[in-house]
Structure 1
Amino acid sequence: MCSPFPLLLSPDPQQVLQAVQGLVADLHKDREGMLEVFLGDAECEEYLGALCRLLAAPEVRLCSNVAYILGTIAENESGAARLVALAGGGSGSEDLLDSLSAMLTWDDPEAVMNAAGTLGSLAETGPSRQWLLQAQKADEIVEKLRGLLASADEGTASNAALGLARIAGSQEGRVKLLGHPHSQHLLRQLIASLRAEEAGCSMNAAFALGRLCDTDLGLRQLFALPEVPSMIHALVSMMASAEAGGSRNACFALSCLAANKEGHDHVLQSPAFPRALDTLGHLLCAEEQESSWFAAMWVTLPRTL
C-alpha cells in the first residue's frame, strides 16, 4: 500500500486535503504507530515543511486539522526538535509561530483550540520551549493565551492554560510571563481559572500559579492582588477534590505559596485552613506518591520558616 505522505507535496489541493484528512484519521486510530512511521520517513522534513506552509491556507478546516497534526507531532520530542530545526531552514516553517499566533484570534473554536494546543505542545520540551520564548512573537502569544483563559470554549481555555503552565515550567518562561506588560492580568485570570468547570483548565492554572509562586517576583506581584484569599480558597477546594491531577497540582501550588513567610501567613489566616489541614492528612496516606510528597513537604514547612 502506497504511503499517503507524498500527497502533502501534491500541486492538487484535493490530494493535499485527502492527505491531511488521512493523517488525522491515522492519528486517531494509532497515534504512536503513525508518528513512528511519519518521523522515520526519509522525506519527513519535506512533509513537515509542507504542513507548516498549509497553516496559511484559506480553508479554516484544513488549517485546523494541520494544527492538530503539528501539535501531535510536537508532543513527540523528536518531532518537536525537527520542527525547531526547520524553523531556520528556509522551508517555510519559519512562519509557523506567525500562523499559529494568527489562528488564536480566529472565530472558529476548533481551529483556535488546536492552535493553542500546538503551542502548548511546543512549550513542553526544553529546546522547543526556548525557541518559542526567544521568538519575536513570544509576548504576543503569551497575551493571546492569557485572553483565551476566559474563552467560553472549555477545550480552548484548557489548552491556553496548558501552554502557559508549560511556559512557566522553566526559569526563562517564568521571567517571560512575569515580565509581560499584562502580567498582573495574567495572574488574575489564572486565579479565575481555578474555578473552571473543565478539570484540565483548573489543573493547568494551578500548576502555572505554583511555578510562578516559586519566584520572588511572582510572589511580589501576587501579594499585590486582592484575589489572594480567593485563590487560596479555590486551591484548597481543588486539593480536596476527587480529581487526582487537580488535587496534586493544587497541593503543589499551596506548598510553593506557603514556602514563603508572607505566603505562609496568608494560608494560616485563610478560613479554608482547617479544611486544608484535613485534606493534607488524607493526602499523606494517598497511594499517589506525588500528592503524598507535596503534602509532606507542606506539613514540614512551618518548622523551616
Structure 2
Amino acid sequence: MREMENELDNRFHFNQKNYFLRFQSHETESSNSAIYYINKHVRHALEYFVDDLKLDQNKTIDRFLDEQTVNEIFIFIAQLLLCDDDRICGNCAFIIGSTVETEKGLKQFLSIFTDDSTIETVDILQLLFQMLTHADPDCVLNATGTLGTISGSKQGRDLLLKHVSVSEMILNISVLLNSTNPWIASNAALVLARLTVEEVGCQIILTHSRHHEILNQLLAALDVNDPSRSTNIAFAIARLIEGEIGKKILINDCGQNKFFEALLIMLKINEDKGINKNACYALSCLCTSRYGYQLCIESITLFYKILVAIETILLSIEHEAVWFALMCLTTIAKHDGAYEHLCNSKQLTEIIKQVQETWIEFKDIQDESKLLWFMLHKNIKPNRPTIDECRDTSVDFSWDPCLFTEDDTDLQYRVILDDVPFTITNKTNYSINDLKPNSNYNVKIQFITSQGESIPSDATPFHTDDECKLHGLLSVDLREI
C-alpha cells in the first residue's frame, strides 16, 4: 500500500520539480507596472500545474496553498491573463478557476483580490470580464466557470456586483447564454442565476440600459435540451419577476405569450426535475400579485396547458418537484376566481387526494396539499345543513362533509344559529337544545381547518313545534287509553 502511495506521489510534477518557484516577476525600471517575462520555464510550469490539477485537484491545490509565497504566485498567474498567447491565457484561467472551486482556494482568492493594494496591481475581475469576449473558446469557458464559482458565495457576489464593469459583464454573459458551446452557455446561466440571488443583482439587470436585450436572451435560452442551463435561467427569471416592477419590465420587453410559451416548455416532464421546480417557482413569483395573475387569465389557453403540465408534475416521484408544484398552485389559488381555472381539467381535486396518499409521511407535502385544498374550497359554500328532526325545544340536523382530509382532527365545523356562532364540532351532525317553542330559527355551518375558515353555508330555516299542541295531543292520547 505504501509503495502504491509513493508511486502516485511521484506522478505529481510538484514532487519532482517545484514549479511554483518559477512564477516570479521581473519589473522594468522604466515602468511602474509589472511585466512578466514569459519564458519556456514559466510556460512549462503552467503546463505542469494544469496536469497536476487534472490528476488530483484537491491535493494539488493544497500543495499550492501551502507555498509561502502563495499570494505572490496567485497575483503572478492572474497577470498572465493579459497574455496574448491563448495557451497561456487558457491555462492561467483554468488554474484560477480550479483553485476557487475549493473552499480553501476561494477563501485565499477573496483575501487576496479584495485587498485595495492588490487591485491596484491587478484587477483580476476586469481581466476575467474581458476574457468573456475572447476568441479562444477555452479562455471563455474558463472565465465563465471561474465567475460562476466566485459568485457562489455571498462575498464573491458582492465583489462582482460592486465592480465598476459589472453592467458590461452582465451584458456579455447574457450573450453567451446562447453560445453553441453548451458548457459556456451553462456556465453563463449559472453566473446570472447566482447574481440574481442578491436583490442588487436583480436591480442591475432590470435597470440595465440594454435590459430588453438581456431579458430576451434569457427567454431565448430556455431549452429543455440543455437542462443545466435552463434550470438556472428559470431561477434567474423567477428572481427577476418577484417584484412588481420586474414583472412589468419582463412582460413589456418579451411579451406575455413568449413568456408563457417558455414556461410551458419547461414544465413538460423531463429527466431533469430542476427545470420543473424552477419553472413552478417562476410562475409562482409571477402570481404573487394580481397583475401577474391577470396576465395568466389574459393568456388563458396557454395558462390551461400550463396547469395541466403542473398536474402531471404532482404525480411524479420527485419530492421537491411535487412540493414546488403544490406551492405554485397554492399561490395561484389565493386569487379570487382562481378555483374555476385551477379545476378546469376536472382532475385537480382527485390528484391532490392521490398526492396526500402517496406522500403521507412527508409533512411539507401534507401541509402544502392541505393548504391548496383549503384555498380551492374557501370561497365555495358548504352545502346547507338538513333538518333531521325538529321538536318544541330542540332540533337535530346534519350536513355533508365539506373536505377530504387524511387527518380528521384537522377539520372542524362551526355551527351558526341565527347568524351567531354557536359551537364547533368535528362531527357532521348536531343537536341544539333549549330552544323556544313555536319559534323561527335558521342554522348554517362553516368548515374550519388549520389553514383558515370557509365562507358560511346558506341558511336552513326551521320552526320549532308549539309546546301547547304537543301537550294537547298527549292529553287526548291519555284519555283514549
Counterpart for residue 294 of structure 2? 265
Alignment check: 8 A CA contact 2:93 2:142 kept? yes
Offset at residue 296 of structure 1 (A)? 1.5
Counterpart for residue 377 of structure 2? none
CA deviations on 1:61-109 (whole Å, 9 max, x unpaired) are 2111211221222233443332232222534664212211221222112
Offset at residue 287 of structure 1 (A)? 4.1
Offset at residue 187 of structure 1 (A)? 1.0
Question: How many residue pairs were aligned?
Answer: 305
CA distance 1:281–1:27, shift in 2 (3 Å): farther
Counterpart for residue 153 of structure 1? 181
| CA distance in structure 2 between the aligned counterparts of 1:29 and 1:170, rounded to whole angstroms | 36
In the alignment, residue 90 of structure 1 is paired with which amino acid? S
In the alignment, residue 117 of structure 2 is paired with which amino acid? G
Q: Secondary structure at the match of 1:300?
A: helix
Q: Is 1:280 aligned to 2:310, yes or no?
A: yes
| CA distance in structure 2 between the aligned counterparts of 1:8 and 1:270, rounded to whole angstroms | 63
Choose 1 or 2 for highest CA Rg: 2
Q: Is 1:33 aligned to 2:59, yes or no?
A: yes
Q: Point out the more displaced range, 56-65 or 91-100.
A: 91-100
Alignment match of 2:273 (pick from 244, 251, 256): 244
In the alignment, residue 82 of structure 2 is paired with which amino acid? A
Q: Point out the more displaced range, 122-131 or 143-152.
A: 143-152
Alignment check: 8 A CA contact 2:216 2:254 kept? no
Q: Secondary structure at the match of 2:100?
A: helix
- More helix by percentage: 1
Alignment match of 2:129 (pick from 101, 120, 127): 101
| CA distance in structure 2 between the aligned counterparts of 1:12 and 1:301, rounded to whole angstroms | 59
Larger relative contact order (CA 8 Å, sep ≥ 6): 1
Q: Secondary structure at the match of 2:276?
A: helix
| CA distance in structure 2 between the aligned counterparts of 1:286 and 1:35, rounded to whole angstroms | 41
CA distance 1:215–1:82, shift in 2 (3 Å): farther
Counterpart for residue 466 of structure 2? none
Alignment match of 1:72 (pick from 98, 107, 119): 98
Offset at residue 29 of structure 1 (A)? 3.0
Which 4+ residue blocks in structure 1 deviate beyond 6 angstroms? Answer: none
Counterpart for residue 50 of structure 2? 24
Alignment match of 2:82 (pick from 53, 56, 75): 56
Q: Secondary structure at the match of 1:141?
A: helix
Offset at residue 165 of structure 1 (A)? 1.3
Identity %: 30
CA distance 1:288–1:140, shift in 2 (3 Å): same
CA deviations on 1:209-253 (whole Å, 9 max, x unpaired) are 011111222112012134322222222221222222222222222
Alignment match of 1:82 (pick from 108, 126, 129): 108
Offset at residue 28 of structure 1 (A)? 2.6
Q: Is 1:8 aligned to 2:34, yes or no?
A: no
| CA distance in structure 2 between the aligned counterparts of 1:40 and 1:296, rounded to whole angstroms | 50
- More strand by percentage: 2
Superposed, 1:182-221 pairs within 5 Å as 182-195=210-223, 197-221=225-249
Offset at residue 47 of structure 1 (A)? 2.3
Alignment check: 8 A CA contact 1:81 1:128 kept? no
CA deviations on 1:178-203 (whole Å, 9 max, x unpaired) are 12111122111101111374332222
| CA distance in structure 2 between the aligned counterparts of 1:261 and 1:179, rounded to whole angstroms | 23
Alignment check: 8 A CA contact 1:229 1:266 kept? no
Q: Point out the more displaced range, 231-240 or 185-194.
A: 231-240
Alignment check: 8 A CA contact 1:75 1:124 kept? no
TM-score by length of 1: 0.89
Alignment check: 8 A CA contact 1:119 1:163 kept? yes
